[in-house]
Amino acid sequence: MRKTKTKFDSISLSILWARLISIVDEAGTTLQRTSFSTVTRESNDFAVVLMDRDGRSIAQSSISVPSFLGVLPILTKALLKDYFSHDAWEEGDVVMTNDPWLCAGHKPDIGIVSPIFHQNELIGFIGTIAHSPDMGGVLWGAGSRDLYEEGLMVPPTKLMQAGVPNLTLFNILEANVRAPMQTIGDIKAQIAANDQGIRSLAKLMEENNLTDLQDLADVIIDNTEESMRKALAAAPDGTFTYSYDTDGDGKGNPCHFEIAIEIQGDEILVDYAGTSDAHPLSINAVLNYTFAYTAYPIKCAFNPEIPNNDGAFYPIKVIAPEGCLVNAQKPVPLGARNITGNMLHSVVFGALAKVIPNKIQADCGSACWCIVLNGTHHGNEFVEYFFLNGGYGARPQLDGPHCLSFPTNVANVPIEVLENDVPILVTQKALVNNSAGNGQYRGGLGQIFGFKNIGEKDLNISILAEKTVSNAKGLLGGEDGAQGKVEIIPHRDFPSKGLDKLKPGEELILTLPGGAGYGPPSKRDKTLIERDRLLKYID
Amino acid sequence: MEIARELRYDIYDLFLTMPEPLIARNLRYGVEERVTNKGKVLTEINQDDLNKIASQIEDENLESVGVCLLNSFANVSHEEKVGQFLQEKFPNLAVSLSSKIMPEIREYERSSATAMNAYVQPLTSSYLNKLKTELVKKGFGGKLNIMISSGRLTTIDEAIKTPIHLLESGPAGGSMAGVFYGKLFNEKNLLCFDMGGTTAKASLIHNGAPEITNHFEAARVKRFKKGSGLPVRIPVIDMIEIGAGGGSIARLNSLNLLTVGPESASSQPGPACYNLGGEYPTVTDADLVLGYLNADYFLGGTMQLNIEQARKAIDKHLAGPLGISIEEAAMGIHKIVNENMANAARVHILEKGMDPRHFSMIGFGGAGPVHAFGVAKLINSPNLYIPVGAGVASALGFLVSPIASEKIHSHISNLADMDWKEVNDFLDNMQSEGKRFLKKYGNKNSSIHIDRIVDMRYEGQGHEITIHLPEGPLSEKHLSEIKDRFQKEYTFKYNRSIEGIEIQTVTWRVQVKGEIPSIDVVQKDITYKNSTPLKGTRKVFFEETGYLDCPVYDRYNFEKNVTLLGPMIIEEKESTTVIGINSEVEVDTIGNIKIKLL
């Protein structure tokens, strides 16, 4: 039996809560400072989460991208239920897995969970999830044909047992990935981040005479849940639907999304029934990932300021038919599931526009386009990732900014850095005039980006482009954004998603889609139109 | 410039706005030309484009122009040609070349810095020229130098060329005062804590030198949000800033939790206790209720504080709704401010790869000494110093900083493939340029100190570590020494080093410094009106004890070289030092307070 509940007054709760978030932020800093993976480091493609002994999340690092919302507690709860029960954990253990159904939906995302002991009792867990530089398999992207082509899968396994490294697992990893030093370096950085968190938490427990985390977790989670429920309750009840089409492969095999959002009192249920089946390209999302990218726009619209912990997500339920595009099952390929996840906000906002039109934004020229180049440069093999974003959607009262990342948050790679790393010459980069969806508030402009292979050999290229046959949809009378385009010179067939080669002298020209407008163009302020003309955003 | 880096600075705010580029799109022009990243010219400058730009400059009547071409860090010739062309055509035009302002890789950051320099240049140059002539007119016969953001002095002429380096030079002065005091107190590592009316700032001094960063932002859309401003990659003393000062307002948020700042009551209407109509409770109100501040001796007694108004505001907005006492709510405000600062400081120290537990603290600013003890306790500082003249720390910093020049060169190469001849050539060039600059301003060879520094990383990582290079010409022979220094620093920062991955150099810097001016600090202008330092006692609230009769000392009459035990309050005109229990207090011969946290 637990002893009587510890009570926390507003002030000590405020202090302890801020300290817990600071602890995961400190751990996140440690991870970021020492990781090799560009996306972990520069794009904050990681999360650190502190959990109670039942795997309920209490605090999540503040700068993480949304793809990890809610993922680590789901993973930890599954570990406790199906893999390592409470008494199977020892101090100094570290469990690793990249199972996409337990983690974040594709193999490069590695989850590392460490137990936290205090006075010899298991009091909680700290976990990190981060995008690893490589997990073997074909070049990352939409081009893999099944799950097995996407590299090594590690089921939940103790990477460290009571502080002793599992050399067998380290050796397997080393033998299966392209950049073993970097990949293992990043895993070690994740362990170091967990350790940093454990040390800081121990200090907090000692200073505040806490013996466990459960009472504190209860208050934090309950408070957050209550606040989220209050925000949902303020919106009118009803069921709101929206449907949406995206490129798929861009060659006649599109993806279709159907959504029904039911707001009932203080709860929200999102149903993706009617969404198309899993796609032959590796753009399928598992339900964990679908949840993260569905909960994210809901949180932004209803209660953007509440901290991320279990309580924020209890009132949100997401369902999708098994085997469909957003609830993929083994062994469909998942590598580039981000292109699908990054579309879900469009569907969610589309439906919510019918009930809370002042709290949402029009469709973005997302998803973020990804290019991976692989070849040799000065005799060394390289794998270079870079990202490009289209125009942002318009908001009530505000135009959409040009070329801004949403819903994920990844930076571009500077031209000068790119040219230093790989044998290409960037031939153009500019905003695309007239590409924004018009409206009372207009979308942001897309961009054009061209580059040429100036090396002597073919470059392997994995491309992930979207909205080349579909476009960003305007809301409440706003117009659609312009489509994107993938062109190669000299002209030949080139996929908008998948694998190909860029031959020496060939130039690839990418035109990113514009963001959509909000409200009817007839209501647009004249001075804003004049400004757009002066700055040549429009002709 | 408008595409920038495509990152959002706030992930949950759908209504965020991005900073406007300083130079609008209709005033940005392209010129056909191309240089590769290795400095090879691929396409010559298109003269027609230049002519077109010249006529546009004329039409628009422009005063200042920034020039930023791709890969100019590798070959400056195209930018220089454009600069020359414009200068010949328009002798009065201010021209900023990116290869002079920030000769580093990354075109967006470089053009942003160049635009900013171009933006401020006309204004600063007329201001500085006027300052110079007016001072001479008034009979000033000394050398006029000016502080720059990295904590060094430069000449007026240099400042006119690159005014962007004057950004944040005031706070840099504060950190340089910290360096000075660090030497005086024999503390190599210090956290400088400065708290004023609306914000609190902290910076680190590590091994006797301020921590420098080149990630700085100006013109933030949201003041305390990283990434919401325009990047300026110039060396700046690294400082964190949080929205917590004396005027910061305390509120209950939507979760019914007590939060403080960043909203501030500023000085109008100010805290409730100013009695100028301030409705909401602030940090100053809390500090007054707790007895830390003296209602009759605020700003040396020039401003009367009203404790009843402070209590009322706290009661109405916090204590009442929460069902707690006014003192508990006031203590909550005080503690939350300290926690916010300590949390930010811990993350900052970790970002620098250091251990937060080993930093002694030094407190400045009007509200700094009131909160420094609480913050020091939270980050486990062994010692806390409240120096004399804390209110004029920046100005003191200006007097104790050396005149210096820093030259920067981007050269990305694996250590193993380094062309040492090329390296020695550019290092020599940078060195003699720096020396020429210092000699021109009267520094003798013997007093010139040269630091050669390189930023290195493991290939594939994105954060660099700064290493001092060995002296003299470099060659393969130095490889193991340079590698060693890198590994050692890496291990110090991250508790591990990595085998089997190439080490890479990124940015090379040569700093040429003149002598650090030495000044003597003596306490001179103090009048001993009162012979006893103890002013009396008053009721002061401490968390561990509740209200107790706490001794209040007059800083100007404190006995030197005597050790006393906390708690106590030490009052002076500009501030009040609050010292909690479990502490030893010592005042040195000049009047600096040293507090040992037991």
Is A389's Cβ below 8 Å from some Cβ in B? yes
CB atoms within 10 A of CB B483: 15
pLDDT by residue (tens digit) across B182-232? 999 999 999 999 998 888 999 999 889 898 887 888 888 887 788 889 988
3-class SS string, A339-354: HHHCCHHHHHHHHHCC
Average pLDDT value for chain A: 94
Q: Is the pLDDT of residue B338 over 70?
A: yes
What's the pLDDT score for residue A234? 96
* CA distances for B287 relative to B333, B480, B545, angstroms: 9, 56, 16
Name the DSSP letter for residue A55: S
In angstroms, rounded to a whole number, what is the distance separating the alpha carbons of residues B270 and B285? 10
> Measuring CA to CA, which residue among B232, B184, B234 is closest to residue B205?
B184
Evaluate whether residue A304 is within a structural domain.
Answer: no
The answer to whether residue B306 scores a pLDDT higher than 60 is: yes
pLDDT at A1: 43
Number of domains in chain A: 2
Tell me how far apart the alpha carbons of residues A427 and B425 are, in angstroms, rounded to a whole number. 32
Instruction: State the nearest Cα–Cα gap between A408 and chain B, in angstroms.
Output: 8
Distance, CA of A109 to CA of A31 (rounded, Å): 14
Residue pair A384/A373 in contact (Cβ under 8 Å)? The answer is: yes
- Reduced to 3 states (helix: H, G, I; strand: E, B; else coil), residue A336 is coil
A461: nearest Cα among A107, A43, A142: A142
Q: What is the pLDDT of residue A180?
A: 85
Contact status of B257 with chain A (Cβ, < 8 Å): yes
Query: Is residue A354 a contact partner of residue A361, using CB atoms and an 8 Å limit?
Result: no
Which of B454, B458, B455 is CA-nearest to residue B470? B454
Give the integer Cα–Cα distance in Å for A442 and A433: 13
Determine the pLDDT at residue B448.
87
Q: Is the pLDDT of residue A340 over 90?
A: yes
CB of B13 within 8 Å of a chain A CB? The answer is yes
Domain boundary, last residue among A223, A239, A263: A223
What are φ and ψ of residue A537, in 5° steps?
A: -70, -35
The mean pLDDT value for B140-144 works out to 86
CB contact under 8 A, A420 and B73: no
Token pair for residue A323? Answer: 């085997």
B410 touches chain A (CB under 8 A): no
Taking only Cα atoms into account, the Rg of chain B, rounded to an integer number of angstroms, comes to 27
**Mean pLDDT computed over B477-505:** 84
Q: Is the pLDDT of residue A79 over 60?
A: yes
B395 confidence band (pLDDT: 50, 70, 90): confident
The predicted model gives B275-280 an average pLDDT of 93
Rounded-to-10 torsion of CA A48, A52, A55, A56: -90
- Tell whether A413 is covered by a domain: yes
The predicted structure's pLDDT at residue A3: 57
**Residue in A33, A417, A420 closest to B351 by CB:** A33
> Are B366 and B574 spatial neighbours (Cβ–Cβ below 8 Å)?
yes
Q: What is the per-residue pLDDT for B528?
A: 47
Sheet holding A447-453, edge to edge: A424-431, A447-453, A507-511, A485-489
- How far is C-alpha B51 from the geometric centre of its chain's CA atoms? 42
Averaged over B280-304, what is the pLDDT?
A: 93
The answer to whether residue A103 is domain-embedded is yes
A202 interface with B at CB cutoff 8 Å: no
Contacts of B96 (CB under 8 A, 6+ apart): B64, B65, B66, B67, B114, B117, B118, B121, B162
pTM: 0.91
Q: Does B5 touch chain A (CB under 8 A)?
A: yes
Among A315-324, B433-442, B466-475, the least confident range: B433-442
Tell me which chain B residue has its CA closest to the CA of residue A189. Answer: B494
For residue A536, give the 3-state DSSP assignment: coil
Q: What is the pLDDT of residues A101-158, one digit of tens each?
A: 999 999 999 999 999 999 999 999 999 999 988 899 998 899 899 999 999 999 999 9
Asked if the peptide bond before residue B321 counts as cis, ω within 30 degrees of 0, the response is: no
Does B525 score more than 70 pLDDT?
A: no
CB within 8 A of A60, min separation 6: which ones?
A: A21, A24, A47, A48, A49, A50, A68, A69, A72, A307, A308, A309
CA B17 to chain centre: 26
Mutation choice for A interface testing from B8, B12, B14 by most A CBs within 10 A? B14
Instruction: Please identify, among A205, A223, A241, the residue that sits at the C-terminal boundary of a domain.
Output: A223
Looking at the domain assignment, is residue A453 inside a domain?
yes
Measured CA to CA, the distance from residue B201 to residue A210 in angstroms comes to 31
DSSP E strands in B100-199: the ranges are 145-147, 153-155, 190-195
Domain that holds residue A123: 10-223
Whether residue B544 lies within 8 A of chain A, CB to CB, comes out as no
Q: How far apart are CA A498 and CA A521, in angstroms?
A: 37
- Token reading at B533: 């330092």
Contact B42 A133 (CB under 8 A): no
Check CB contact of A300 with chain B, cutoff 8 Å: yes
Cβ atoms within 10 Å of B22's Cβ, excluding its own: 20
pLDDT, residue B589, reads 81
Give me the residues of A, 456-515, that contact B with CB < 8 A.
Answer: none
- Segment B508-525 shows an average pLDDT of 79
A250 in any annotated domain: no
What's at B144, amino acid-wise? L
Closest CA to A195 of A62, A58, A48, A36: A48
pLDDT over threshold 60, residue B314: yes
pLDDT at res. B447: 82
Give A415-440 pLDDT, tens digit per residue: 998 998 899 999 999 999 999 999 99
* Within-domain flag for A61: yes
Q: Measured between CB atoms, which of B107, B259, B500 is closest to A415?
A: B107
Model confidence band, residue B386 (pLDDT cutoffs 50, 70, 90): very high
Residue B581 corresponds to which amino acid?
I
Q: Any bridge partners for residue B451, and if so which?
A: B511
- The Cα–Cα gap between A514 and A402 comes to 8
**Contact between A109 and A103 (Cβ < 8 Å):** yes
The Cα angle at residue B115 between residues B110 and B120, in degrees rounded to 5: 130
Task: State residue B524's pLDDT score.
Answer: 55
Residue B586 has pLDDT above 70, yes or no: yes
- Per-residue pLDDT tens for A83-100? 999 999 999 999 999 999
Q: List Cβ neighbours of A408 (8 Å cut-off, separation of 6 or more).
A: A43, A45, A65, A66, A67, A338, A342, A366, A367, A368
Q: What region, left, alpha or beta, does residue B530 occupy, with left being phi > 0 and alpha being psi -120 to 50 degrees?
A: beta
Quick one: what percent of chain A has pLDDT higher than 70?
A: 98
Residue B406's pLDDT band (cuts 50, 70, 90): confident
Q: Which helix (H) or strand (E) holds A140?
A: none
A41 touching B (Cβ < 8 Å): yes
Residue of chain B whose alpha carbon sits nearest to that of A62: B11
Q: Where does residue B501 rank: exposed (0-12), middle (13-18), buried (19+ CB within 10 A)? A: middle
Rounded CA-CA distance B325/B334 in Å is 14
* A208 in contact with chain B, both atoms CB, cutoff 8 A: no
pLDDT over 90 at B42, yes or no: yes
Determine the average pLDDT of the residues in A475-488.
97
Coil/strand/helix, residue A356: coil
| Contact check, Cβ <8 Å, A419/B36 | yes
> Tens of pLDDT along B21-31?
999 999 999 99
- Which has more confidence, A447 or B411? A447
User: Under a CB-based contact definition with an 8 Å cutoff, are residues A462 and A503 in contact?
Assistant: no
Q: Identify the domain boundary among A223, A244, A261.
A: A223
d(CA A511, CA A485): 5
Residue A179, pLDDT score:
78
Q: What pLDDT shows up at residue B288?
A: 97
Concatenating the DSSP letter of every residue in B62-91 gives -SEEEE--TTTTT--HHHHHHHHHHHHH-T
Cβ neighbours of residue A537 under 8 Å, at least 6 residues apart? A431, A433, A434, A436, A442, A445, B25
Q: Is the ipTM of this complex over 0.90?
A: yes
Which is nearest to B281 in space by CA: B314, B240, B308, B253?
B314
What is the rounded distance in angstroms from the CA atom of residue A281 to the CA atom of residue A464? 11
pLDDT at A182: 82
pLDDT of residue B413: 87
Mean pLDDT on B426-454: 87
Q: Do B3 and A41 touch (CB under 8 A)?
A: no
Of A7-11, A20-24, B569-573, the range with the lowest mean pLDDT is A7-11
Please list, residue by residue across A115-127, b when 16 or more beta carbons sit within 10 angstroms of its beta carbon and e when fewer do.
bbbbeeebbbbbb
